[in-house]
């Protein structure tokens, strides 16, 4: 009997794309200090996203038409994002790391070809390892780290995938999405041989770091935490090694909560909760997913810690522009006893904890921020769950000129153990949830997720 052949994957080209020389270069900053929002994520794994697009044409057609357009529009887009063609360094004469761009710096750009099953990769369930070749990698050492890497993989007569990897200390999810949408805008507008790009206001990045005030010394607290992590005066830019390893039989699953599901969750919660509050789609989604996850996984730890991010741009005093580029998210922690989630109604228990955290945000989005890194380091003996992405990013509207993505996959959750959130690919107001589990846990989660919704 003939054995099934292993899908082939080959790297066609490894190159660099530099910002195209043009008038925008003189007005874009080339150096950015890291704020405390950035420093929070200094040693965390990079963020990896995969955008899958349908392109039912030959490889030659892709290389002749699509690839040149992607490269040229990228070089134009980088005119507006100069520091992110550079690197993070931590000079000995600087108290904080800095992002620097020097003329000649460029973004790593890999071109590959694969005959893997494109439809399977775009499905709601596939083996996590099959996505790994599609992910670009940052060049990182103890002394220096690139902040952006890109890869384009073509699947002949099926489609192509754009992979983006960003250093978490340089981009938050909103900034990463802004960059991708700016690139897509440049590409879809068929700028040809143009040497400059004018971005609309909602896509123009705002870089002024002076708007981030730090009267409480949060930056110094984060610097101290990282410099004392793993030794004294530790200026390493390497990833924090205690991040989760991906199970060998890991499966990536996508699940959806439709608007009717979300309404049912809110109605059920209002009938059970002691205190009546206005429930958000975010809170009921996270609470339901977390309740199913804990029951599927059955953690051996005594405590569950749930960490979620809150966009601070509109919540700072005074608020800062929505297009502020960098990190501007605060972390909130919810702690619960594992047995309360496994034995009781974990959905309600978790939801009450999330609502309490959201109330704390209203009292001051930066309350407790100074101790966040040290608290996360102390929680390593607990089972930590977290979120990644947001439905507000509208990643499925990222159109390079060949239509909306068939799938947007947050590949970095393979290692972080987070579950991702985005708007539904169906554009119907629902929420798409992505998570990576071993096969047994994925089967258990799927059953709990579906049966729970049917029981309301």
Pairing between β-strand 419-423 and β-strand 383-388 as defined by DSSP bridges: parallel
Q: What is the pLDDT of residues 239-273, one digit of tens each?
A: 876 556 677 789 999 999 999 999 999 999 999 88
The per-residue pLDDT for 4 is 43
Greatest alpha-carbon pair distance for the chain in Å reads 71
Structural element, H or E, at residue 218 = helix 218-227
Phi, psi dihedrals of residue 414, rounded to the nearest 5°: -55, -40
Residue 308: is the preceding peptide bond cis (ω within 30°)?
Answer: no
Q: What is the pLDDT of residue 366?
A: 87
Angstrom distance (rounded) from CA 327 to CA 413:
18
Burial (CB count <10 Å: 0-12, 13-18, 19+), residue 214: middle
Q: Are 310 and 361 in contact (CB under 8 A)?
A: yes
Q: Please answer whether residues 332 and 360 qualify as being in contact, where contact means their C-beta atoms are separated by less than 8 angstroms.
A: yes
Strand order in the sheet with 125-127: 125-127, 250-257, 431-438, 419-423, 383-388, 303-311, 329-337
Tell me, what's the pLDDT at 26? 61
Q: Is the peptide bond before 318 cis (omega within 30 degrees of 0)?
A: yes
- Concatenating the DSSP letter of every residue in 402-439 gives S-S-SEEEETTHHHH--EEEEE-TT-SS-EEEEEEEEH
Query: What are the b/e assignments for 35-53, b being 16+ CB within 10 Å?
Result: bbbbbbbbbbbbbbbbbbb
The answer to whether the CB of 420 falls within 8 A of the CB of 410 is yes
Give the Cα separation of 387 and 327 in Å (integer): 16
Q: Please state at what angle helix 173-188 crosses helix 67-77, rounded to 10 degrees.
A: 120
- Provide the H-helix boundaries in 78-205: 118-121, 173-188
Residue 166: what pLDDT?
A: 97
**Residues 336 and 353 sit within 8 Å (Cβ to Cβ):** yes
439 and 126 Cβ atoms separated by less than 8 Å? no
List all residues 6 or more positions away from 80 whose beta carbon is below 8 Å from its beta carbon: 24, 28, 182, 197, 199, 204, 205
Q: What is the pLDDT of residue 3?
A: 41
Least Cα distance to 17 among 108, 84, 131 occurs for 108
Residue 104 token pair: 């000649």
- Report the pLDDT value the prediction gives residue 365, as an integer from 0 to 100: 86
397 in helix, strand or coil?
helix
Which residue bears the tokens 């980088």? 78
Query: What's the whole-model pTM score?
Result: 0.94
Q: Rounded CA gap, 377 and 381, in Å?
A: 9
pLDDT digit string (tens) for 228-241?
877 677 888 988 76
Q: Is the dihedral of CA 415, 417, 418, 420 positive or negative?
A: positive
- 106 with 178: CB under 8 angstroms? no
Name the residue with tokens 């977290």.
386
pLDDT of residue 75: 95
How confident is the model at residue 374, as a pLDDT? 74
pLDDT at 360: 87
Residue 360 in tokens: 């704390």
- CA-to-CA separations, 446 to 283, 289, 292, 415, in angstroms, rounded: 20, 10, 9, 20
CB 323 within 8 A of CB 206: yes
Q: How many C-beta atoms surround the C-beta of residue 293 within 10 A?
A: 26
In angstroms, rounded to a whole number, what is the distance separating the alpha carbons of residues 33 and 316? 19
Q: What local confidence, expressed as pLDDT, does residue 14 receive? A: 97
Q: Render pLDDT for 383-398 as a digit per residue (tens, 0 to 9).
A: 889 999 999 999 999 9
Residues in Cβ contact with 108 at an 8 Å cutoff, skipping those fewer than 6 apart: 14, 16, 136, 138, 139, 146, 148, 149, 150
Catalytic residue numbers read 168, 399
pLDDT in tens, the chain (456 residues): 344 456 789 999 999 999 988 665 666 788 999 999 999 999 889 999 999 999 999 999 999 999 999 999 999 999 999 999 999 999 988 989 999 999 999 999 999 999 999 999 999 999 999 999 999 999 999 899 999 999 999 999 999 999 999 999 999 999 999 999 999 999 999 776 777 889 999 999 999 999 999 988 999 999 988 888 776 778 889 887 655 667 778 999 999 999 999 999 999 999 988 777 889 999 999 999 999 999 999 999 999 999 999 999 999 999 999 999 999 998 888 999 999 888 878 999 999 999 999 988 888 888 888 887 777 767 677 888 999 999 999 999 999 999 999 999 999 998 888 999 999 998 888 999 999 999 999 999 999 999 999 987
How high is the pLDDT of residue 276?
76
The tokens for 293 are 């996850």
Number of H helices, E strands in the chain: 13, 17
């Amino acid at each position: 009997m003939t054995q099934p052949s292993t899908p082939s994957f080959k790297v066609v080209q490894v190159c660099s794309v530099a910002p195209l020389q043009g008038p925008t270069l003189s007005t874009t900053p080339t150096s950015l200090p890291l704020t405390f929002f950035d420093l929070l994520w200094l040693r965390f794994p990079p963020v990896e996203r995969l955008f899958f697009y349908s392109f039912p044409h030959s490889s030659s057609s892709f290389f002749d038409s699509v690839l040149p357009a992607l490269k040229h529009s990228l070089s134009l887009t980088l005119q507006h994002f100069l520091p992110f063609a550079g690197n993070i360094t931590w000079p000995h004469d600087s108290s904080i790391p800095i992002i620097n761009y020097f003329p000649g710096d460029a973004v790593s750009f890999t071109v590959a070809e694969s005959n893997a099953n494109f439809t399977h990769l775009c499905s709601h369930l596939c083996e996590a390892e099959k996505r790994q070749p599609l992910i670009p990698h940052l060049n990182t050492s103890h002394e220096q780290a690139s902040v952006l890497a890109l890869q384009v993989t073509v699947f002949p007569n099926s489609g192509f995938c754009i992979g983006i990897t960003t250093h978490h200390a340089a981009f938050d999810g909103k900034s990463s999405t802004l960059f991708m949408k700016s690139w897509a805008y440049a590409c879809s507008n068929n700028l040809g041989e143009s040497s400059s790009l004018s971005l609309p206001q909602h896509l123009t990045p705002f870089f002024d770091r002076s708007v981030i005030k730090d009267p409480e010394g949060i930056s110094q607290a984060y610097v101290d935490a990282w410099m004392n992590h793993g030794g004294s005066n530790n200026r390493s830019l390497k990833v924090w090694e205690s991040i989760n390893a991906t199970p060998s039989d890991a499966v990536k699953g996508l699940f959806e909560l439709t608007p009717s599901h979300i309404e049912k969750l809110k109605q059920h919660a209002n009938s059970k909760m002691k205190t009546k509050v206005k429930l958000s789609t975010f809170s009921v989604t996270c609470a339901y997913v977390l309740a199913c996850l804990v029951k599927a996984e059955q953690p051996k730890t005594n405590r569950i810690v749930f960490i979620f991010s809150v966009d601070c741009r509109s919540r700072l005093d005074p608020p800062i522009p929505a297009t502020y580029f960098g990190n501007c998210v605060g972390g909130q922690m919810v702690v619960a006893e594992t047995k309360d989630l496994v034995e009781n109604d974990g959905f309600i228990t978790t939801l009450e904890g999330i609502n309490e955290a959201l109330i704390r945000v209203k009292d001051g989005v930066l309350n407790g921020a100074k101790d966040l890194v040290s608290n996360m380091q102390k929680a390593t003996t607990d089972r930590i769950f977290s979120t990644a992405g947001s439905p507000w990013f509208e990643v499925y509207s990222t159109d390079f000129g060949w239509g909306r993505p068939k799938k947007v996959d947050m590949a970095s959750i393979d290692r972080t153990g987070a579950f991702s959130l985005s708007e539904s690919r169906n554009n119907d107001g629902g929420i798409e949830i992505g998570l990576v589990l071993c096969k047994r846990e994925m089967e258990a989660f799927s059953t709990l997720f579906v049966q729970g919704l049917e029981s309301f």
